[in-house]
Structure 1
Amino acid sequence: MSNRVAVIGGGSWGTTVAHLAAHNEPTVLWCRDPKTATAVNERHVNPRYLDGFELHPRLRATTDLEQAVAEAEVVVMGIPSSAFRQVLEKVAPHLRPWVPVVSLTKGLERGTRQRMTEIINQVAPAHPAGTLTGPNLAKEILAGHAATSVMAMADDTVATALQGVFTTDRFRVYTNDDVIGCELGGTLKNVIALASGMVDGLGAGDNTRAAVITRGLAEMGRLGTAMGGRADTFAGLAGMGDLLATCISPQSRNRHVGEQLGRGRKAKAVVAEMDQVAEGVFTAGVVVELAAEHSVEMPISTEVHAVIKGTRTAAEASMVLMGRQTRPEPEATRASRFRRLWPEKADSKGSPLRRLWRFVTRSS
């Protein structure tokens, strides 16, 4: 499969993915800013977002969206969730038939609460939709450090072909057909990373951070599986892997915002001074809405949203979380608890407990 790759979005991650693809295929990067396009073409750098890092010499850039897309055999969308639909609507008329569209965006659309592949399926329904996601910090990859990612797409044949587009000797790509789980893993971890940053801002230690990350992963899994993702996805690169990198790294935009919130600053002020998007700030409210819709308990995400809104301080949110009612871990379902307590009676045909077991199983 010979691909001409178009990456839409000249931010740090879009540029990095274009750099990776250029190792394997002719690749063009679409940028809004003419100065960025010129720098990529003439000096092989993106000084605005990735100053000091050299890009692949065969990577080319343009500000002409139609020119970027018209001959492409793979289109990669590196656009923030707030503008994803708008830009894709401009891209769609120029797509060649059956060209795969891959999202790099780790967020949900406000209002519709849709994942990016759902937007792709609406705006460009004849095109295979997927996402490239995982613990991927742009500057580390450009520095030549080993990294891994996941190409999530329902069609395994297309996913396998795309796997080769982005794989290099220092960047290993896996495939996964659980698109929902992979997208939600990348999205939900941003909210938990805000909480992890708050821990740092409050001056807490590694014990607290470990608790936030671990219990945050439990929240991600609860909502993710309720929305149709697979539990094992959240234990992999798109879930736990991405969560760890985003919660720990000083390069993480979401962790940075959380740290500033922990120090008592307001979300609007922190976001206003940033040159790139911290998706978790805009996703937190949508996540809380989805949790309510699916009757899923997400206490960390709820408190993060309250801090972003300004109805709680980070210190107050911490006290609320620590004051919650104690419970077992792991959190078994009612059905599994019943079977553990009364395994013989639960399996005894005709017994009242057997009938109760059937009721509990149906309602778990």
Structure 2
Amino acid sequence: MTGSGHKAPSGWRIAVLGGGAWGTALALAMLRAGHFVRLYARDPETVAAIDRGENPRYLPGIALQAGIVATSDIEAALDGADCVLAVAPAQSLRAMLATAKTHMPKGAPLVLCAKGIERDTGALLSAIAREILAENPVAALSGPSFATDVAR
């Protein structure tokens, strides 16, 4: 739930932080589950491609149904989010969460959707998330799957 306590008419407002194959596939899965989805990608070309209905760089040949709102503005992606999926590689997570911190809805769950350990510190991704976003509950999505399978 957001600070306002309202859900989007079609379900929860999900922010997906990461426009690669896995982020795009998870955004599509959330959309199909009836949620309102905003996907943040740093690259404006990726955003434009997703808006056209495909992410050819990361998921070539997979048609994306209309409804995913792609943006290169992390503040816009997080605005009013009920839940946030962090889909950044382990070595990029700290920087992305630091950028997201001031825009992160208080209390919104953060779901870590990548695996790994921070190379420089040896920190687990959950420890990084708790350090930067202490006011947000942290969960992890795991399991054997491939982005193209999830997207299909």
Q: TM-score, normalised by structure 1?
A: 0.38
Q: Distance in 2 between matches of 1:111 and 1:141?
A: 31
TM-superposition CA deviations, 1:154-206 (whole Å, max 9, x none): xxxxxxxxxxxxxxxxxxxxxxxxxxxxxxxxxxxxxxxxxxxxxxxxxxxxx
Matching residue of 2:70: 61
Question: Which residue, 30, 39, 63 being the options, matches 2:49?
Answer: 39
1:116 to 2:121 alignment: no
Deviation at 1:114, TM superposition (A): 1.4
Matching residue of 1:8: 17
Q: Distance in 1 between matches of 2:61 and 2:140?
A: 28
Q: Distance in 1 between matches of 2:65 and 2:137?
A: 27
* Structure 2 gap segments, 5+ residues each: 2-6
TM-superposition CA deviations, 1:66-115 (whole Å, max 9, x none): 11112211111111111100110010111111010111111001122111
Matching residue of 1:26: 36
Deviation at 1:142, TM superposition (A): 2.0
1:106 to 2:103 alignment: no
Identity %: 35
- Amino acid of the structure 1 residue aligned with 2:115: K
Alignment map for 1:47-196 (pairs within 5 Å): 47-143=56-152
Alignment map for 1:241-256 (pairs within 5 Å): none
- Contact 2:79 2:103 (C-alpha < 8 Å) held by counterparts: yes
Matching residue of 1:239: none
Q: Distance in 2 between matches of 1:118 and 1:22?
A: 29
Q: Distance in 1 between matches of 2:151 and 2:109?
A: 25
Q: Distance in 2 between matches of 1:140 and 1:94?
A: 32
- Amino acid of the structure 2 residue aligned with 1:95: M
- Amino acid of the structure 2 residue aligned with 1:128: P
Deviation at 1:36, TM superposition (A): 1.1
Structure 1 residue ranges, 4+ long, deviating more than 6 angstroms after superposition: none
TM-superposition CA deviations, 1:286-340 (whole Å, max 9, x none): xxxxxxxxxxxxxxxxxxxxxxxxxxxxxxxxxxxxxxxxxxxxxxxxxxxxxxx
Match of 1:133, SS state, is: coil
Q: Distance in 2 between matches of 1:111 and 1:39?
A: 34
Q: Distance in 1 between matches of 2:94 and 2:65?
A: 29
Q: TM-score, normalised by structure 2?
A: 0.89
Q: Distance in 2 between matches of 1:98 and 1:7?
A: 16
Higher normalized strand content (fraction of residues): 2
Match of 2:116, SS state, is: coil
- Amino acid of the structure 2 residue aligned with 1:30: Y
Q: Distance in 2 between matches of 1:85 and 1:17?
A: 21
- Amino acid of the structure 1 residue aligned with 2:110: V
Greater RCO structure (CA 8 Å; 6+ sep): 2
Deviation at 1:26, TM superposition (A): 0.4
C-alpha RMSD of matched pairs (Å) = 1.1
Q: Distance in 2 between matches of 1:78 and 1:12?
A: 9
Of structures 1 and 2, the larger Rg is shown by 1
